[in-house]
Structure 1
């Protein structure tokens, strides 16, 4: 029976997969020994690839990290990169692939063979991208000499985790970044600011903002918008207005997100003078897009309902006269 199986394995007949799947544990050792012989002696790489895929049906074979690495190395030395992709993709059908350790190993193998794009694509397909898979892709970056992409990788994860309220997971990735001596940039810090805002730690976010400046990283409009949103979410009118005013001391103009966050809050808090001033600021910005007309109409309606007719009329006129942002606003009957 074993000799028959050897023939099937050697020739990669269609029944070989069934034979491998059905073998008992002692025979699995023979499968591994047989393939190791192939790995050293088989000159036909197409045959080697077929036999690798056939042997992959053995769980013990799949558990042998060294065999995978040596096979990938041999194929890479022969510039058979598509074949590497073929055999690694073949592993997706096995339950092992759903385990993070196994998928992380495949990511690392892609990296070691210089197939960075494949490594990153596989990383993106993993539902739970944790520290283990991150380290695997980090290794892939290094082997592929994509050093400039390492920070981008960390930032992608930080944005994703912090924005979804997974603050502790975000902190683990942040610690990993520091542990690998990767220097955070403004995008990294902004992701963390958002994370603090999501979990309602806006005062801590202010401390981080000060740290950013002290470390020589220049905050940007995204930084200010995060703080404004944080204080709006926590109902702190004075702090929200303060951080809006801070924008004026920078080279930035408020943008759509700034106005969409702050204006409804000012109306809700009945700070109509501030709402009026902020509305006028819209027409003095250099932003490419203005906020929705319905947002300004809301301000106009609230001003009229509170007998601030002249202020409402001014906003309506600005909307009609502006060459940059033209709004068709209606002055309701008071």
Structure 2
């Protein structure tokens, strides 16, 4: 009974709400226009967005222009103007590196000094990371006295372990080991805010590992622990690379023992150092066995691991095995990179396998992989020598489309017998030139 009585009430409520809803409907033929935000509010929200997009586009164009600028004076003046006008420009790390590298290559240390000096007024309101970058830029240009002066003139809040490490890196990059050692000793003693970190010691260690006598490098680990700084994986990987690069496999064995004693778990970079050492000693089968162990038990090999073995096979004249390893990279969850092609392609060209070399070139361009110009130029020269002019021209054309410099990658002028005459100056290609054409 209650249910039957409730039904008419529900029906009446439904009619009331339905009639109420219908009563507020507009007359037929006059649809209600959609609600819009007030024009003033909508405009106030869109103008800043449009301005931000325009500013970003303008800044991108300025950066692109500076990356392509070849005139040192215009590069300096344009750089200073952009960094002064656009605060966001100062977060574009790459344009700083390219500009300094190019000016240093031109011998324009005055230009390097000018653009870095123009950044110093912003130090008070910038982060210590910005200050560290200025110091490292002087290091890249081998202007270590300027790097040191910049550190010592920093505002007190920026005299930190980070900027100290930047100065150490500048000394290390320039090969100024005596100055590096002196700075490591003197600066923390006179600046309480500077406390050497594990990274500080690793910079020292890296420099020591470039010397034939590695006993001081081993002593650094004991010094770190005495000072309460725990060595990390980078510390031991640096030692492993130092010993293997100098052919000191016995000393490298001691480093592995030190890692085990300190419960430092080796990573793929640790094993890559060992692979490199075995390959350098001509112990290719041992390198193969090590790679197989990594595939089975870990750490999983990366592209660098396979590149080492590709290089070993090529050096030993085992081209087919090198090619097979290259073809299996994807199956091994790796991707070919610059080092892969640098290891493989000269060997392929030398063996006269030009179709395979041409295939590699197409893969390089499709993957936007930045190999050195001379690698591509060797393929072009070999194709021209084999009278495959159309294929050679295609490689050059694709290279130009991928921003390789026309003055470096080009068709040879003539061929006599089996020798290319008037070869290009591909060997003059520098890392700085390669970098400035990346991600245009």
Which residue is 1:208 aligned to? 290
Which residue is 1:303 aligned to? 383
Deviations 1:212-239 (A, max 9, x none): 1222312222112111111111111111
Q: Distance in 1 between matches of 2:222 and 2:242?
A: 21
TM-score by length of 2: 0.43
Q: Distance in 1 between matches of 2:398 and 2:252?
A: 44
1:285 is aligned to 2:370:
no
Cα offset for 1:121? 7.5
Q: Distance in 1 between matches of 2:306 and 2:404?
A: 23
Query: Structure 1 stretches of 5 or more lacking a match?
Result: 1-113
TM-score by length of 1: 0.55
Deviations 1:168-224 (A, max 9, x none): 222232233234432211110000000011001122111111211222312222112
Cα RMSD (Å): 3.3
- In the TM superposition, what are the counterparts of 1:27-66 in structure 2 within 5 Å? none
Q: Distance in 2 between matches of 1:291 and 1:120?
A: 30
Relative to structure 1, the CA distance from residue 291 to residue 121 in structure 2 (aligned partners, 3 Å threshold; closer, same or farther) is: closer
| Bigger Cα Rg | 2
Which residue is 1:97 aligned to? none
Cα offset for 1:242? 1.6
- In the TM superposition, what are the counterparts of 1:174-193 in structure 2 within 5 Å? 174-193=256-275
Which residue is 1:164 aligned to? 246
- In the TM superposition, what are the counterparts of 1:47-126 in structure 2 within 5 Å? none
Which residue is 1:329 aligned to? 410
Q: What count of residue pairs does the alignment treat as equivalent?
A: 217
- In the TM superposition, what are the counterparts of 1:239-258 in structure 2 within 5 Å? 239-250=321-332, 252-258=334-340
Query: Structure 2 stretches of 5 or more lacking a match?
Result: 1-194, 416-440
Which residue is 1:222 aligned to? 304
Relative to structure 1, the CA distance from residue 250 to residue 213 in structure 2 (aligned partners, 3 Å threshold; closer, same or farther) is: closer
Which residue is 2:171 aligned to? none
Q: Distance in 2 between matches of 1:239 and 1:277?
A: 17
- In the TM superposition, what are the counterparts of 1:267-286 in structure 2 within 5 Å? 267-286=349-368
Q: Distance in 1 between matches of 2:266 and 2:328?
A: 23
Relative to structure 1, the CA distance from residue 310 to residue 250 in structure 2 (aligned partners, 3 Å threshold; closer, same or farther) is: farther
Relative to structure 1, the CA distance from residue 301 to residue 139 in structure 2 (aligned partners, 3 Å threshold; closer, same or farther) is: closer
Q: Distance in 2 between matches of 1:143 and 1:116?
A: 13
